[in-house]
Amino acid sequence: MTGHSGWFRHLVPLAVLLAGAVLAVVTLSGVLPGHGDPTPAAASAVPQVGRQDLNAVIYATQDKLRRLPGDAATWARLGAAYVEQARITADPSFYAKAQGALEKSLQVMPVDNVSAMIGMGQLANARHDFAAGQRWGEQAKALSPWTAEVYGVLADALTQLGDADGATAAVQSMLDVHPGVASFTRASYDLELHGRVEDARLALERALGVSASPDNVAFCRYYLGELAFNAGQLDEASSQYEQGLLAVPGNIPLLQGRAKVAAATGKTADALAGYAQITSRMPLPQYLLEYGELLESVGRDSQAHGQYDVLAAQQQLYAAQGSVDDLAASQVAADHGNPAEALRRAQQEWTRHQNVFSADALAWALHVNGRDSDALAYADKAAALGWRNATFAYHRGMILASLGRAADARAALSQALVINPHFSPLAAPRARQTLAELGGPR
């Protein structure tokens, strides 16, 4: 037992030394750099766009490439990540970086480089060069017919190029190869374009079911919300947007959904505040246009035109960076006082991509230029797939009304308002007014 007291005698000074050291470290580290919460308060106040996963991929690939600059596959992965980054942040300067990384990959490995081909295809699609997207997709498919991403590139390109059957086949192949979030969401879009809203919803539910990351959950919730909103189901849409925001607070598309629902339910102040926030954080053409139209619908014309001016500048910048979007430009010009420009852009778009979107844009551009009989042919093309699109139906109804085909016009305008009574803060009231002038809904 005396051994114990002997131990103590030796250990006490050591223990005191240790305790002192612990105390000193803890006390002094309070004044050391890096103490406390290293995340600045400002950063946590800003909701992330929801790209932690993507950032992790970008950092990891960059790190690897600093050590292994001759790794073609990693350059391709980085390029694809930059394309995705451009999509999420809506910042087109990432396209140049993506191109640089993908070219580097192809330079290191010029033949049989499937990953780089897929990345190039995604980049081309993102820049609305769908013909190039299709070419890259076909090349990659020839080399690697069992890669899901190949069919993703092809499906996106073919949808926009107007090859609806080819797009559906590509989506089916993608589902066969890898039934995941990317294939289910594409399947959902394809089904929606063919008017199969319920099947589209089920496909999105499947996508949501296999979504592991918050980003993917937010993505699926947004499209579920969009599907519901476009069918006029405001409660369901709101529920989806809000659930998505629980997964990724501050996600901008979901905030846009929330603002849209607010506008549709008459909470104009909330809607305007929401759009002001969204366009300040991410001034995308679509958001600027929706904000402008909402401002115009409540009579705040000068503010609305401020948004349209920014939109016009945006279009110029996109054009200067090699990304063409005649479709959006035509729509803006047609609705905001530049019929000639609208027609020119719509014709360009139709020449390049003969799909339902450009058919509708060209029909509407012809209508605002007074060429309604020409317009109707394109409105028919736009309706060919059976897409239940309120805006398309509205355009068709207005064209028919101008042609004096009152019964058909009433049917089309009624259909637009049945599909979604809130499809646009400016166009929906016009649809109602025209319908009333024609004798009310059929």
Partner 1 sequence: MLLAGCAAMLVLPVTLSGGPVADAHPLGDFTVNHYDGLSLFPDRIELHAVVDTAEIPTLQDKAATDTDGDGTISAREADQHGRVECAALAAAVTATVNGSPVRWRVTQSAATYPPGQPPLLITRVTCSLVAPANLHTTALVEFTDSFRADRIGWREITAIGEGLRVVSSTVAGASISDELRRYPDDLLSNPRDERSATVHVAPGIGGITGASAPLATRLSWLDHALASATRTFNELAGGTQLTPLVGTAAALLALLLGASHAALPGHGKTVMAAYLAGRRGTRRDAVLVGVTVTLTHTAGVLILGLLVAVLSSFAPEAVLRWLGILSGLLVAMVGAGLLRSALRHRWATPTHATMDRTPALVGASHGHGHAYGHGWDGEERPPGRVGLVGMGIAGGLVPSPTALFVLLGAIGLGRSWFGIALVLCYGLGMAATLTLAGVLMVTLRDRMARSVVSERWRDRGARVSAALPTMTAVLVLVVGLGLALRSLLGSG
Residues that bind partner 1 (CB under 8 A): 2-3, 6-7, 9-11, 14-15, 17-18, 21-22, 24-26, 28-29, 31-43, 45-46, 48, 52, 55, 58-59, 62, 65-66, 78, 89-94, 97, 100-101, 104, 277, 279-283, 303, 306, 309-310, 313-314, 316-317, 320
C-beta of 41 vs 212, nearer to partner 1: 41
Q: Where would I find the H helices in 144-267?
A: 148-161, 164-177, 181-193, 197-209, 214-230, 234-247, 252-264
Nearest to 291 by CA among 325, 316, 256: 256
Q: How far is the CB of 192 from partner 1 (least distance, A)?
A: 29
Cα Dmax for the chain:
114
- Which tokens go with 356? 């339902």
Sign of the C-alpha dihedral computed for residues 282, 285, 289 and 290 taken in this order: negative
> Least Å distance between CB 179 and partner 1?
31
Query: Exposure string (b/e) for 271-303, b if CB count within 10 Å is 16 or more?
Result: bbebbeebbebbbbbebbbbbbbbbbbeeeeeb
Give the nearer residue to partner 1 in terms of CB position, either 90 or 403.
Answer: 90
Do the beta carbons of residue 103 and residue 59 sit within 8 Å? no
Q: How far is the CB of 113 from partner 1 (least distance, A)?
A: 17
The CA–CA distances, whole Å, from 175 to 116, 147, 198, 330, 338 equal 22, 11, 18, 34, 43
**Least distance (Å) from partner 1 to the CB of residue 381?**
34
Q: Which residues contact 141 (CB under 8 A, 6 or more apart)?
A: 150, 151, 154
| Nearer to partner 1 (CB atom), residue 109 or residue 203 | 109
Q: Which is nearer to partner 1, 15 or 210 (CB)?
A: 15
For the bound state, the minimum distance from the C-beta of residue 247 to partner 1, rounded and expressed in Å, comes to 16
Nearer to partner 1, 94 or 151 (CB): 94
Nearer to partner 1, 21 or 142 (CB): 21
Report the residue number, 28 or 273, with the smaller CB distance to partner 1. 28
Query: Least Å distance between CB 261 and partner 1?
Result: 22
Between residues 4 and 404, which has the closer beta carbon with respect to partner 1?
4
Question: How many CB atoms are closer than 10 A to CB 10?
Answer: 9
C-alpha 260/C-alpha 96 separation (Å) is 32
Instruction: State the DSSP H helix or E strand holding residue 94, giving kind and residue range, or none if neither.
Output: helix 93-108
Task: Give the C-alpha separation, 263 to 25, whole Å.
Answer: 56
Q: At residue 401, what is the residue type?
A: A
CA distance 164 to 195: 13
Q: What angle do CA 40, 42, 44 make, to 5 degrees?
A: 80
We find the least distance from the C-beta atom of residue 397 to partner 1, in angstroms, to be 35
Q: Which of 218, 227, 239, 244 is nearest to 193 (CA)?
A: 227
CB of 270 to partner 1, least distance (A): 18
Q: Tell the smallest beta-carbon distance from residue 43 to partner 1 (Å).
A: 5
Which is closer to partner 1, CB of 43 or CB of 212?
43
Please identify, using beta-carbon distances, which residue of 46 and 111 lies nearer to partner 1: 46
Nearer to partner 1, 252 or 428 (CB): 252
Instruction: Using alpha carbons, list the distances in angstroms from residue 432 to 387, 413, 428.
Output: 21, 8, 6
Shortest reach from residue 328's CB to partner 1, in Å: 15
Task: Give 26 or 212: the residue with its C-beta nearer to partner 1.
Answer: 26
To partner 1, the closest distance from the beta carbon of 24 in angstroms equals 6
Can you state the percent helix, strand and coil of the chain, rounding each to 5? 75, 0, 25
Burial (CB count within 10 angstroms: exposed 0-12, middle 13-18, buried 19+), residue 8: exposed
